[in-house]
Structure 1
Amino acid sequence: MNIRNTIFTNESSEMISAFNKAQETFKYFWRELSWEYRRIIPVFDLAYVKCAFIQEHSDSSDSPLVEYMWISQIDFDGTTISGQLMNQPNYIDNVQAGEIIEQPFETIVDWMFLTQDQVYGGFTIQEYRKQLNDSERKEYDASWGINFGDPNNILFVYDQEEHPENLIEHPMCEKMLDSFLHFIQTNPTVIHERDNRGNQLLHREAIAGNFLIIQALLQHNLDKSALNNQSMTASDLAHKMGWENIAKLLA
């Protein structure tokens, strides 16, 4: 089954464009969230990802059922996204609200985070809001308890309008670099430790798009060809995420 073709069935070209944009920019969401997880005091009010959940018909040859639902408590290893399902399904019955689920990266159709009353992402939400008049938008926003703002102005990273350079490097990466260097100098074994997906620190920082940290790690003569459980190098993961500057550095 081609996941992308299944997801796109019966969707408008505008919504398909929103799906694609969400996947193309998911790297920014994960970079922001990976730094959020390192903060002592969180600053995000919410961080959600919407995925397409697909269920095959067990007794017919009809097209699979597809339902789009949000998940929270996000984790991501470069190929698989996991989290807690927020919605109770209306059409499929193989998952339930509150379950911890895993979905392939290719099923991501939207993401958003909220901090300091500013929404970032929300591509399918804004595509839907474009079809509403002002009164309907206010009612829709009230149902979320969020002011989604101008549907034609979707931001990807924190403080993007004032500091567009944040698209290139997360500001915390530079601020925390000295602390990071001190940490790996005093805890050198962490560089080689693997998580349950087989990712080492180099893999995880490549997924998150932290160029300066990758540069620092390479000073420790790491094996750039090391594979994770999906037989992917850090360069492979950077390329998959769209961090081409990091993929080139690791090649």
Structure 2
Amino acid sequence: MRVGLFVTCLVDLMRPSIGFAALRLLEAAGCQVVVPAGQTCCGQPGYNSGDFAAARRLALRWVEDFADCDYVVAPSGSCAAMMRVHYPRLFPADVAAGRRLTDLAARTWELTRFLVEVLRFERPPGTWRGVITYHDSCSGLRELGVKNQPRNLLARMPGVILRELENCETCCGFGGTFSVKFGELSTRMAEHKCAAIQASGAAAVVGGDLGCLMHIEGRLRRRGDTVTRVLHVAEVLAGEQGVVPCK
């Protein structure tokens, strides 16, 4: 099985360990993983801001980059949703382009859904001991149905105590350009999320989208919390858990 790993912009630039963790998980599940060197942004920021022309250009480039893959997998619900749900809508008048996009989009998955529903993966190679709480990111949850899959994988790791977060499905306030356009509201939403995380008593909050995790971690640190770890689910499952924050 030839799987194309769509790394995502934020992972590539801000926390490459997530990309390496996703690679390790896919290989542990028996996949032949390819990472096309020409891949770039999925186009979601432009698409959400009304720049459909830019989104179309990036969608066509994506098809070329991943055309020879059996599947495309991304460690991000928002990017995977852009490719799987929104790409097929970009070319209503171009039947040929629309067909190519629709075909590949149907074979595009968020990482934990792919591991659970396609690969039936049951043995995450990582190790962990302690309490984890999970934040559900909006796009993965609402557009792709990512909910139980990451929890099922975490529950298979010996030593993990999964404690549900109050209002775990409530937006953290990031929302891509939303956090830029509505900074005060975004901050208040993050404040509520971080208060719930601290009330959970978990040693780490885990999620599936780096944008949310960066937003949450930034607010936690501004609240004076330098202990709670903020990790991508792939890092925990693969045992590549990034840098330990200062205490």
The structure having more radius of gyration, on CA atoms, is 1
Structure with greater strand share of residues: 1
Regarding TM over 0.5, the answer is no
Structure with greater helix share of residues: 2
